[in-house]
């Protein structure tokens, strides 16, 4: 099962946590969260295909942080959300290339 994963590390390379995502088609995500499918059944027909699909649903398969996560850092969940956004942004150039009527607008 293809997954996207990222680790959160200190500048010295110490692992603070990991998040694993499964990119799915929206209908497959609905089946999964509705209890009509299991993660192990998320195979080719249910997985998001950047070359063919216009919608993406991300299932958080695993999100673990070290028990001794340092005080003073942003909450692990917030950092993980930024990581998920970064993973999602990897798809944007391909989607923009495929669909000439799309543009990326950043609101700052």
Q: What is the pTM of this model?
A: 0.64
Question: Confidence band (pLDDT; 50, 70, 90) for 79?
Answer: confident
Beta strands across the sheet bearing 15-24: 4-9, 15-24, 57-65
Backbone angles phi, psi at 39, to 5 degrees: -55, -40
Helices then strands (H, E): number in the chain?
3, 3
What is the pLDDT, as a whole number, of residue 35? 92
At 5-21, the pLDDT tens digits run 788 888 898 888 888 88
């Amino acid at each position: 099962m293809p997954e996207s994963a990222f680790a959160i590390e200190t500048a010295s390379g110490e692992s603070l946590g990991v998040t694993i995502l499964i990119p799915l088609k929206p209908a497959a995500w609905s089946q999964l969260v509705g209890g009509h499918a299991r993660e192990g059944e998320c195979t080719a027909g249910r997985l998001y295909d950047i070359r063919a699909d216009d919608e993406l649903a991300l299932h958080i398969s695993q999100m673990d942080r070290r028990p001794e996560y340092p005080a003073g850092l942003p909450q692990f969940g917030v950092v993980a959300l930024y990581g998920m956004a970064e993973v999602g942004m990897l798809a944007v150039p391909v989607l923009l290339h495929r669909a000439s009527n799309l543009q990326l607008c950043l609101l700052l």
